[in-house]
Every structure is written in structure tokens, then in C-alpha cells.
Amino acid sequence: MAPSRFLLFVIVFNLSLLCVVQCNPDYRDALAKSILFFQGQRSGRLPPQDISWRGSSGLSDGSLAGVDLTGGYYDAGDNVKFNLPMAYTATLLSWSVIENSRKLGPQLPAARAAIRWATDYLLKCARATPGRLYVGVGDPNADHKCWERPEDMDTARTVYYVTPASPGSDVAGETAAALAAASIVFRKVDEGYSRLLLSTAKDVLQFATQHRGSYSDFLGSSVCPFYCSYSGYTDELIWGAGWLFTATNETYYLDLLKSVGPGDGTDIFSWDNKFAGAHVLLARRNLVNNDETFGAYRQKAEDFMCKILPNSPSTTTKYTAGGLMYKMGSSNLQYVTSITFLLTTYSKYMAKANHTFTCGNLVVTPDTLRNLARRQVDYILGDNPLKMSYMVGYGSNYPKRIHHRGSSLPSIAVHSQEMGCESGFQPYYYGSSPNPNTLTGAVVGGPDQNDFFPDERGDYSHSEPTTYTNAALVGCLASFAGKS
């Protein structure tokens, strides 16, 4: 081979390699990992599992109230079970499965198992004591003073609940949404379980609507500032009623939706604020089923998209120079994945209805939304200025020092002696070594507004994973991984 042709070969070869890494992410690999992550967040008695550095934990959860509240998920890098974000996680995982069941392909059973780990626990919370909805286990202020493995956790496992006298329409509305959405997922594979989910969802939504109030007003520093209901509870009432209506078609829920109204316009979608999610969910009735009753939800869903799209005259959303949607400094990727899930889902509904809309003079087609969604997913998987994957264990350059107690401390499988509340700080938390355990699939808070990521354990705003960041991404990845 002549030297010049050899050089050309090297350049072309390297360009194509670059493209394998950057232009063509392995969505299927990322999808499998995004679901595997949930095993690392499990509380309760663990079966043999692929994330083998974790063990059983929280086995007496609920005992302080004389009930069994074992199971469920730790929300992020700590050892607390907060039901508001856990239920949101279960709702988004369920929605991801409902919209993409064929595209999930071989990952469908794992996705269902990830939902069930949450809903088994949420069912206990709703059914253990009549007149009470349990909404969390573990004193977050005590937990956050420690850096210890979930398997060693020795802080107070305080049990929190709402009642008719101290209600929580926010956490109850979200719990009802999760149970109703999951009832659709299990309808064809486990009829009895699906019926139990649906009947419990109805009871919990009844509780949310009959006794109105925000759980933050009654539980104070046990849920705030961690998962304070900043947006109030109207969004969860619409969201809960929307999911119950989707699961049943019962006029009762339609009437409830009408009495609450379509709610506020927003430019966010998160564990706190679900207006946009409800608008997209119910817009489907207008777009796909031609039901004029839901025209107002479609309008709200499209106003939302116009606030997100970068070239829209009414946009309120910032993007980094590298192209990442940038909503908030703390754990920004949670907003990116939740909003991106709405982009892929609304795009799908539009395509089904052969529908387009406009933001001022910008014509929005299904591809407009899907292209923006793909750009966000690709950024997360490594197509960004740092060439960094923000999913642990995906690609070769990913966060190595995530803010996560279990991942950052020696596994009980290799270090069986107990480690107390503070024994994890030195050398593990404050040290600079990579975490000993890989929390495969975990998506961290992500880069700052300059596309920069320090990869420091103490930097929880950028380095902590959460269940709801991943839950939304599961649907996005399935949407790009599958054939259709």
C-alpha cells in the first residue's frame, strides 16, 4: 500500500471508529444497563441478582409502626425510602413500558421486574393500615449524617404516613398514578396482580381527592427540603385521575378531571411537577382518539413543547454550548430525561395522528421532537465536549466517583465486618480513589452549564444518581433501540 493511501486508510478507519463511539450509540446496551441499575437501589430481602455487591437491607422497615414495609427503592445515593419520588419512578417506568413494550424486546421482563419491586412496596404502604397511607421509611436527617452501606444502616427507620386529618394529596395522587399505570403493564401478564393494583389505585386516589392537603405541611423536615411538594398537589390530582382514566375509561375520573381543570402551563417535568406529563398523557385522547374533550390538554402539551424547543419563539429553555438541555444546576439530567421522555412520547402520538403544530412561525413535526430527544440521549451517552458518558458502565469514559453510599464503600461480599455511621467518610468518601463497586447503568446529575464534569464524590449536584432520572431514560432508550 502506498504511504498516502495507507494514511488515508488510517484516517478513514479512525473516523469510522469515532463514529461508532459518537454517531451511533449502542442504545440496546444502554437500555439493558439503565434497567439493571434498579437492582443496585433495592431495599428489602434480595434474591440472587446481577448486581451482586449489594445485599439485603432494611429488613425491619415498618416495625416501628407494627407493619411490614420492607422492599422498595432507595431514591438516590442514600438509604432512605421516599415514596413521592419512588412512586413517580414507578409511574415513569410503567409509562415507558406501555409506550414501548415491543421496542423493549428482550428487556421487557427486566423492566416489569423493576416496576414490581416498587409497586409491591407501594401496595404494602397503601394496604397495611386502614385510614393511613405510609409515605416513607428512614429518618433522612439521621441518614444524611452517615456514610454507610445500606446493609449496615443503623439510623432510625422512622415510619411516615398521611391520614385524613394530616393528608397528602400530592404523595397519594402520585401513588395512585403509579399503581394505575402499573396495572396496565401487568394486565396481560398477571391479571390478579393487575386487578389488585387497580383497586388499590382507586382507593388511594379517593383518599387524595377527599382529604386535600400537601404532605409537606404535615411532615415538615422529614420530607423537606428533600422531596418537598413545591408545586402543590393539583398536578398530582390531575396526574392520578389521568392515569386512572387511562386504566379504566370510567366517567368518574373524567368528571374528576373536569372538576380540577387542565392545570398550569409549565416548562418542567419532574418528581415534583407533573402538569406537563398529564397534558401529554391526556393529549393522546385528542390526537389519537379524536376526542374533543381533551383539546385543552393537547394545547397545553404543545405550549409546553414550544417552551422546550430551542428554535421556538416562546422557548424558556437554555442549552449548553454542547447541546444539552439545561434546566437547573442541581441534578440537571433528571429534568433532561423526564422532558426527553415527553418529547419521544408526544412525537409518537403526533406521528400516529399525522399531526403537526406551530410555535409562532416554527413548524413542529414528529421528527422535530424526536431529533431533539435523540440529541439529548446521545449527549448523555457520550456525544458531548468531554466525550464522557454520564451512564456508569457504558462506554469507557464514565463517572468513577459517584455520590452513592453502596457503590463507594467496600461490598459486604468482600468486607463482611460491620461499618458504622461515620466509618465510611475516611478514606472512602473524602478519598480520591474510584468507587470500588460499579453501579452499572446509573445516570448521574450530569455536567454543569459549561459542559464540564468534575467527577467528585462530594459533588452530589453532579455526581449523584437517582431512580427517577433512570426511569424516564428507560423509555427514551427503548424508543431509539427498538425497531417499532
Ligand X SMILES: *[C@@H]1O[C@H](CO)[C@@H](O)[C@H](O)[C@H]1NC(C)=O
Which residues are at the interface with ligand X (CB under 6 A)? 247-249, 289, 354
Shortest Å, Cβ 294 to ligand X: 11
Q: Are 233 and 169 in contact (CB under 8 A)?
A: yes
Catalytic annotation present for 403? yes
Shortest Å, Cβ 192 to ligand X: 17
Q: Rounded distance, CA 301 to CA 265, Å? A: 8
Residue in the structure block whose three cell numbers are 424547543:
309
Residue in the structure block whose three cell numbers are 409546553:
304
> Residue 365: CB partners within 8 Å, gap ≥ 6?
350, 356
Q: Rounded distance, CA 333 to CA 8, Å? A: 39
Residue type, 64: L
Shortest Å, Cβ 148 to ligand X: 45
Please identify, using beta-carbon distances, which residue of 254 and 373 lies nearer to ligand X: 254
H or E segment and range at residue 137: strand 133-137
Catalytic annotation present for 464? yes
- For residues 413, 415, 416, 419, the Cα torsion angle rounded to the nearest 10 degrees is -130
Angle at 382 between CA 316 and CA 462, to 5 degrees: 60
Please identify, using beta-carbon distances, which residue of 101 and 248 lies nearer to ligand X: 248
Q: Rounded distance, CA 359 to CA 17, Å? A: 38
Catalytic annotation present for 455? yes
C-alpha cell at 367: 421528527
Shortest Å, Cβ 341 to ligand X: 21
Please identify, using beta-carbon distances, which residue of 154 and 250 lies nearer to ligand X: 250
Please identify, using beta-carbon distances, which residue of 288 and 386 lies nearer to ligand X: 288
Identified catalytic residue from 61, 272, 455, 462: 455
Identified catalytic residue from 148, 235, 383, 464: 464
Measured in Å, how far apart are the chain's first and last C-alpha atoms?
44
Shortest Å, Cβ 233 to ligand X: 25
Please identify, using beta-carbon distances, which residue of 198 and 208 lies nearer to ligand X: 198
Shortest Å, Cβ 248 to ligand X: 6
Please identify, using beta-carbon distances, which residue of 76 and 287 lies nearer to ligand X: 287
Identified catalytic residue from 279, 403, 404, 462: 403
C-alpha cell at 431: 478519598
Instruction: Give the three-state DSSP class for 318.
Output: strand
Show which residues are catalytic: 403, 455, 464
